[in-house]
Each structure stands twice: as structure tokens, then as C-alpha cells.
Amino acid sequence: MSSESKSPSAATPINDRTLPADRQRIGFVGPEGAGKTTVATMVADRLSDRTDVATVGEAATFFEQPSASPENIGPLGVHWTVVDHSPGTDSLETAGDTLDTVFVVVTPEMLDRVAAYECVIDQLDADVFLVVNRFEERHRGRLRDFDGPELAEYFYEDSSVAAAVSDGTVPKLEERTMEAMLLESLQAERLDIAEAMAALERGRRSIVNVEVESDASALAVARSFRENGYATDFFRCNCRCHDGHVLARTRTPFESE
């Protein structure tokens, strides 16, 4: 379940002084050899630049675990946990309702194995997205025709990534950002700024997502939300038509004081 699925209904407007700090647990699953741990590690590393993040599973070996505190929950007031599940579906089957979002990581050759994960995730109260690793342009048609979870991100084949993992260091991607998966986890639905502001004001959304074409427009959109009392943060994406997204949410009690 995303942050949105946990928000009150439109009939129960959100009070920004009583809304608890959001806790977002994102899980990474996939077959052996898909690069699941690599993706989870890169996401956790990017998150750690913003806020404290707890990491569970093999990906945790790349990090010193922080002690979460209200001072280190980032601009949006979110406590993040990245869960790197063991390969296969067994550990996912016992996850219960502990995950908010699940990312199924596969290579293009493994797309036919996604259905097995979907069957398990359907039993959980969690959103699901697809992440394709070791992507090549020749796979674009197959990916476009794939009938499965919505694509959150794809990553090109990159020998430097495998080399970094072998050395026990966190891989760095020079030309792509990991942030798209974070914003999908928090709020996948895009609204224009007027719709987003109205959704927050009327209690229909606890968090909103507005696409922005440039850094300048991101600053302007974020300023509008902040002036109306909402917490904001900017997330870059890998789309060619815009630079990123401004997310805004109702402030937590800690932030409102």
C-alpha cells in the first residue's frame, strides 16, 4: 500500500497536526541473478543522501545502519526502510502487510517469471512495480508489449556496476537517477499544481505528485506548497520530457511544532 492508500477518505479531512510521520517500507524481490541486491543498494544509497534509511537483507552489508530520529526523516517526514528479500518468492510470502511497495527486479530475459511474484503480491496490501535491469535497446519492443506491473525504471547494462559490487562498494550511475522509484512508492499519480493543492486542502490526498519541466519550475511549485503549509521535496527522474517531480504532503506533528 502506498502512502496514498493509507490516507483518510475525502469525508475525513486530514489535520496536519495529528497526521503521524509516514513510514515507508519498500521491498525488492526477484530471481537469482537479476541484480535485485544491486538495485536495492543503489536506492538505499540515494535515500541516505536525503535522510536516515534502515536497510534489511543482503543490501544492508553495504551500509552502517543509522539510528532513526525525528531530526533525520527528510523534508517529507518519511521514515524509510529498504528490504532486500532473498531471491524467489518464499520470503515475500511471509512478508504479510509489512511492505508498502514491492519492486520486482528482473532482466529482460526473466520477464516471464514476473507472474509468479505478482501472484504472491496480490495477497499483500502493497503496490507493485517492475524494474528491468541490464536493459538494452533491442529489448524495448518486448518491454513495451509486456503485460504485467507498471514499469518504474530500467537500467542499462553497465560493467562498472558489477565491478563495484564485486569490490564491495555501492555502484554509482553517472547518467541515471534512482529517485523515480522513490516517488512512485510515495505517490504514483500525477496531478497539475491546482489539482494537487485542492486535493491536499480538501483532504482527498495526504501526498501529491506534480511533474516539473525544469529546476526553475520546481522551485516555484515547491514554494507554492510551502507557502500553504505543506512539506515538499524534489525528485529527479529519467524521463526526457521533464526534469522531475515535486512531492508535497501534509506536515507531521513534529514538523508543525
| Amino acid (one-letter) located at 108 | P
Taking residues 121-144, what's their average pLDDT? 90
- First-to-last alpha carbon distance for the chain, in angstroms, is 28
Each residue of 159-207: pLDDT tens digit?
A: 888 788 777 788 887 777 888 888 888 888 999 999 999 999 999 999 9
Q: What pLDDT score was predicted for residue 184?
A: 86
- DSSP assignment string, 35-74: -HHHHHHHHHHHHHTTS-EEEEEGGGGGSPPP---GGGST
pLDDT at 170: 84
Judge whether residue 101 has pLDDT over 90: yes
- How would residue 71 be classed by pLDDT, with cut points 50, 70 and 90? low
User: Which band of pLDDT confidence, cut at 50, 70 and 90, is reported for residue 256?
Assistant: very low
- Of the CA atoms within 13 Å of residue 168, those in its CB half-sphere come to 2
pLDDT at 110 over 90: yes
Residue 84 pLDDT > 90: yes
**For residue 20, pLDDT beyond 60:** no
User: Minimal CA–CA distance to 35: which of 142, 140, 107?
Assistant: 107
Is the CB of residue 54 less than 8 Å from the CB of residue 47?
no
Ramachandran bin of 96, using left for φ above 0, alpha for ψ from -120 to 50, beta for the remaining angles? left
Q: What is the pLDDT of residue 173?
A: 78
Instruction: Give the C-alpha separation, 88 to 92, whole Å.
Output: 8
Q: What is the pLDDT of residue 257?
A: 37
**Rounded alpha-carbon distances, angstroms, from residue 41 to 35, 112, 176:** 10, 24, 15
> Beta-carbon neighbour count of residue 188 at 10 Å?
15
Q: What is the pLDDT of residue 223?
A: 95
Name residue 175's amino acid: E
Angle at 234 between CA 159 and CA 241, to 5 degrees: 65
pLDDT at 14: 28
Percentage of residues in the chain having pLDDT higher than 70: 86
Predicted local distance difference test score (pLDDT) of residue 114: 96
Cell of 106: 528482473
Is residue 80 a contact partner of residue 54, using CB atoms and an 8 Å limit? Answer: yes
Specify the pLDDT at position 67: 54
Is residue 210 pLDDT above 90, yes or no? Answer: yes
Give the model confidence (pLDDT) of 135-155 as tens digits.
Answer: 989 999 999 999 999 999 998
Helix axes 193-201, 215-227, angle to 10 degrees: 20
